[in-house]
Amino acid sequence: MKHRTLTFALLTALSLTLIACAAPLPAPPPTRADTTSVAVTSPTPQAGVTVVDALGREVTLPALPQRIVLTGRALFMIADAIYTFPEASQRIVGMGQTAQGSGNFIKLIDPNYAAKAVLERDAGAEQVAALQPDLVILKSTAAETTGKPIEALGIPVLYVDFETPEQYFRDLATLGQVFGNPTRAQAVADFYRRKIAQIEQAVAGAPRPRALLLYYNDRDGSVAFNVPPLNWIQTTMVQIAGGQPVWSDAKLGKGWTQVTLEQIAAWDADFIFVVSYFKNPSEVVSALKADPNWQALRATREGRLFAFPADLYSWDQPDTRWILGLTWLAGRLHPERFPGLDMEAEAKAFYRELYGLDEAFFMAQIRPTFQGDLP
């Protein structure tokens, strides 16, 4: 690891007024769930570690990090993955905004959340340095804008992606090294692999219906429908679930690509799934079903226009919940292959296995937030 530069030392000194009253590292969180599936280790903090991050960089730490900061955009997606490790609550001392809309899952599950610094969405290197981190974790897409200024201060930065199933397995293994808990990393990865294998086996040999996944957005005052790039997890989910993405031959950009209603009609999909991040997807689809233009679509007439489910966050994103979205999607595309699929039971198992949350917590805090076409 690089020696901290004089600049970092000066910044730290200037920031002492911000951290002089900081509390010591919070105590372990109280038991709030059945955590029999959560592996907790007590590694020697002095044990150093070298990991390879999402950009292929070797990051060497002289000891397992005890003061971790999470920052950058799209933070809730990587924060939710990081919090599958029970050590996260104790080791993370500051983070950026982990909410999407009104939902903030990390605040809900971390009993030490109030003791952590909450950074501005576009926090600069100086704000991060004030927390005296021994590691900062960022999405790789923020390397140039956010990561390099932090690295210039001699603070080690670890980049992760958590965008595709393959990246999930790789980044989980990296976090297992960082937290000194490879057993937990393997357990979480196995959870995903097991679910994917079950779905792939169930849909093997089945006809692949033509499916269209649309992101509904009316935040600028006008309604727009968008399709994802072919390398995004939404497209991957349709493929794994046994569907054929009808937009695969469209001219797509690097992000969501807006499409017209005429194009949607021309695709004539067997199934249409509507995602909405800032408005209840059930309300969105209900309004579409009442629209004569949408009533003319074959998928609508045949009862195959669905609101993609969500709880605190939508299940279609490269957030930990994508495995729930994949399971639901496969059940909708191939109901005959998933008789008796119970998504509430699937969600209970997800929160128990990945976060150690018991049924009482689930029923009080998660189940009431369900949206979309869930039974």
Q: Determine which of 21-30, 160-169, 207-216 has the lowest per-residue pLDDT on average.
A: 21-30
**DSSP code per residue over 294-311:** HHTSHHHHTT-EEEPPBS
Phi, psi of 356 (to 5 degrees): 65, 25
103: left (phi over 0), alpha (psi -120 to 50) or beta: beta
Is residue 261 located within the same domain as residue 329? yes
Instruction: Report the pLDDT value the prediction gives residue 42, as an integer from 0 to 100.
Output: 45
Q: Is 66 helix (H, G, I), strand (E, B) or coil?
A: coil
* Residue 362, in any domain of the structure: yes
- Residue 41 CB burial class (10 angstroms; 0-12, 13-18, ≥19): middle
Instruction: Report the pLDDT value the prediction gives residue 271, as an integer from 0 to 100.
Output: 98
Is residue 214 located within the same domain as residue 266? yes
Is residue 141 located within the same domain as residue 213? no
- CATH code where residue 30 lies: 3.40.50.1980
The residue among 142, 168, 195 that closes a domain is: 195
Q: Give the CA count within 13 Å in the CB-facing half-sphere of 257.
A: 17
Instruction: Report the pLDDT value the prediction gives residue 221, as an integer from 0 to 100.
Output: 80
132: left (phi over 0), alpha (psi -120 to 50) or beta: left
Instruction: Report the pLDDT value the prediction gives residue 202, as an integer from 0 to 100.
Output: 98
Is residue 352 located within the same domain as residue 250? yes
d(CA 147, CA 157): 7
Is residue 91 located within the same domain as residue 162? yes
Q: Which residue has the tokens 């029970």?
A: 86
Is residue 288 located within the same domain as residue 221? yes
d(CA 315, CA 274): 12
Is residue 309 located within the same domain as residue 209? yes
* Domains identified in the chain, total number: 2
Residue numbers of the domain that contains 114: 6-195
Burial 133-145 (b: 16+ CB within 10 A, else e): bbbbbbbbbbbee
* Residue 163, in any domain of the structure: yes
Is residue 178 located within the same domain as residue 214? no
Whether residue 27 is predicted with pLDDT greater than 50 in this model: the reply is: no
Is residue 146 located within the same domain as residue 218? no
Joined together, the tokens standing for residue 28 give: 């372990």
Q: What is the mean pLDDT of residues 22-37?
A: 37
Burial 170-179 (b: 16+ CB within 10 A, else e): bbbbbbbbbb
Which residues fall within 8 angstroms of residue 17, CB to CB, at 6 or more apart? none
The residue among 195, 227, 261 that closes a domain is: 195
Instruction: Report the pLDDT value the prediction gives residue 46, as an integer from 0 to 100.
Output: 57
Whether residue 37 is predicted with pLDDT greater than 50 in this model: the reply is: no
Instruction: Report the pLDDT value the prediction gives residue 372, as an integer from 0 to 100.
Output: 97
Instruction: Report the pLDDT value the prediction gives residue 97, as an integer from 0 to 100.
Output: 86
* Residue 200, in any domain of the structure: no
State the pTM of this model. Answer: 0.87
By percentage, how much of the chain surpasses pLDDT 70?
Answer: 87
Joined together, the tokens standing for residue 144 give: 């140039």
Query: Which amino acid, 310?
Result: A
